[in-house]
Amino acid sequence: MLTDYHNAKDITLSQDFCWGEEDVRLAAAGGRILAAPLLTDRPQPPYDRVTMDGIAIHYAAYASGKRSFPVAGIVAAGTKPVTLTDPGGCLEVMTGAVLPPGTTTVIRYEDLVRKGSEFLLPEGIEDSKNIHWRGSDVEEGQELLSPGARIGGAAINLLAGCGYADVRVKKLPRVAIIATGDELVGVAEKPLPHQIRMSNVFHLRHQLATAGIEASTHHLADDKAELTTAITTLLARNDVLIFSGGVSKGKYDFLPEVLANLGVRKLLHRVAQRPGKPIWVGRTDETMVFGLPGNPVSSLTGLLAYVGPFLRQNLGIATREELRSLAMDFSFGKDLTLFQVVSTDPATQCVQPVANAGSGDASSMLRADGLLVLPRERSTFKAGEAFPFIPFDKIL
Ligand SMILES: Nc1nc2c(c(=O)[nH]1)N[C@H]1C(S)=C(S)[C@@H](COP(=O)(O)OP(=O)(O)OC[C@H]3O[C@@H](n4cnc5c(N)ncnc54)[C@H](O)[C@@H]3O)O[C@H]1N2
Ligand code: MOO
Ligand SMILES: [Mg+2]
């Protein structure tokens, strides 16, 4: 019996794990997931901030007809507030300085004429110009981001501005990616004619690295004793195991049996989808286990369709679903959810199916930027119709 994709996804998403929280230095926080809200420690900006280099005056003096203002001093950014004591005078002010108490507007140097120790002002000056008022962006104690937010560049700016030298983030799971198969040799090796280099583990590792997860990589032979010993250790040391290969119906696809013997409870095996049908998912109390089918496009599909959403769920990240429209009519007659490898036209944002020779064709992924999820209930799909799109290289 094949499990339906949506059912399989629900089963995967209902597995709760607690990986905890930790404090990291701000410089290492990029890409991590906030575990505590980002709160402002002061209003932003924290004082009435001058936004143009020029002079500050009390507008009432200008409004009464005065056009010549003697200079009472210069106020640089970073100096304590300087009060304008003579309301008929002016203070030179630099961008970033505190607006001098006693002044109400700022005039740019470009709009002024200097004459000795005075500035001559033109007609048409307005009050309250070139000032970024205290608290006008955000108030003190305001929540700028909630737990579960991914820390990007803008968040780093605000975290720094609000004094977060250390940032409370969700701990990332310890992940191991394991290639299985006697035909696989290392990347640096020269394969014999009947061998291939293991490539999937590096691909899967990269996908996880886009979320800051540094997975370890391993290779195990199609040998029950070796698998049993090694997986026992891997289970003890990791929160998530991701296998590539060894889950289908072959005489040497030992993983489901070995995992079951080690007490990994099966959650599902085989999903009504293409590619990636033979996927096996299970867990112990402590460790989630994904047995992704070995064909390169199948491994990637399993990772993006199940492992990514599972990680998002357990890191408290809001679910995201992006839709993209087909650029052309398309048909697929099987009773399977199709994860079609597609490439997006940058001009129209519509997607074009990428031809491949099946899920073993790793080179097809080079011509694509994601998967379009076409529902099992349908066999024809029209140009312009939108379907869920799962991007490559962005697992969270
Ligand atoms: N009788 C059946 N045979 C197969 C079925 C089926 O339903 N009935 N399903 C097919 C499908 S679909 C897939 S996908 C594969 C999945 O097989 P496994 O998960 O058991 O994977 P393996 O047999 O170990 O390998 C499959 C294929 O992938 C290559 N591979 C494996 N690991 C790597 C790696 N790390 N890097 C690069 N390539 C890798 C491996 O050499 C094989 O060519 O089963 C079908 N068979
Ligand atoms: O589903 Mo397999 O994953 O077609 O190649
Ligand atoms: Mg196999």
147 lines ligand 1 (CB under 6 A): no
Ligand nearest to the CA of 302: 2
**Is any atom of ligand 1 closer than 6 Å to the C-beta of 299?**
no
* Predicted local distance difference test score (pLDDT) of residue 320: 81
Dist CA 192 CA 293 (whole Å): 23
Which pLDDT score is estimated for 198? 96
- Alpha-carbon distance of 282 to 181, in angstroms, equals 20
Output the CA 227–ligand 3 centroid distance in Å: 15
Nearest-atom index, ligand 2, CA of 360: 5
Please give the distance, rounded to the nearest whole angstrom, from the Cα atom of residue 301 to the centre of ligand 2. Answer: 9
Task: Take atom 16 of ligand 1 and give the residue whose Cα is closest.
Answer: 293
Q: Is the CB of 296 under 6 A from ligand 2?
A: no
Ligand 1, atom 10, residue with closest C-alpha = 248
Sheet architecture: strand order including 265-269: 216-220, 175-180, 240-244, 288-292, 280-283, 265-269
Does residue 292's CB lie within 6 angstroms of at least one atom of ligand 1? Answer: no
Q: Which domains does the chain have, with CATH numbers?
A: 5-20+172-314 (3.40.980.10), 22-38+144-170 (3.90.105.10), 49-132 (2.170.190.11), 322-391 (2.40.340.10)
Could you list the pLDDT tens digit for every one of the 396 residues in the chain? 899 999 999 999 999 999 999 999 999 999 999 999 999 999 999 999 999 999 999 999 999 999 999 999 999 999 999 999 999 999 999 999 999 999 999 999 999 999 999 999 999 999 999 999 999 999 999 999 999 999 999 999 999 999 999 999 999 999 999 999 999 999 999 999 999 999 999 999 999 999 999 999 999 999 999 999 999 999 999 999 999 999 999 999 999 999 999 999 999 999 999 999 999 999 999 999 999 999 999 999 999 999 999 999 999 998 889 999 999 999 999 999 999 999 999 999 999 999 988 999 999 999 999 999 999 999 999 999 999 999 999 999
Q: How far is the CA of 204 from the centre of ligand 2 (A)?
A: 16
pLDDT value at residue 357: 84
Dist. CA 240 → ligand 1 center (Å):
21
Q: Whole-angstrom Cα distance, residue 206 to residue 253?
A: 25
Q: Does the CB atom of residue 297 touch ligand 1 within 6 A?
A: no
Interface predicted TM-score (ipTM): 0.97
Position 103, amino acid:
T
Burial of 29-53, coded b for 16+ CB within 10 Å and e otherwise, reads: bbbbbbbeebebebbbbeebbbbbb
- Whether 273 is in the pocket of ligand 1, judged by its Cβ within 6 Å, is no
Give the H/E segment covering residue 229: helix 224-237
Q: How far apart are CA 308 and CA 289, in angstroms?
A: 13
Is the CB of 200 within 6 Å of ligand 2? no
Nearest CA to ligand 2 atom 5: 359
Span from the CA of 274 to the centroid of ligand 2 (angstroms): 6
Atom of ligand 1 minimally distant from the CA of 295: 28
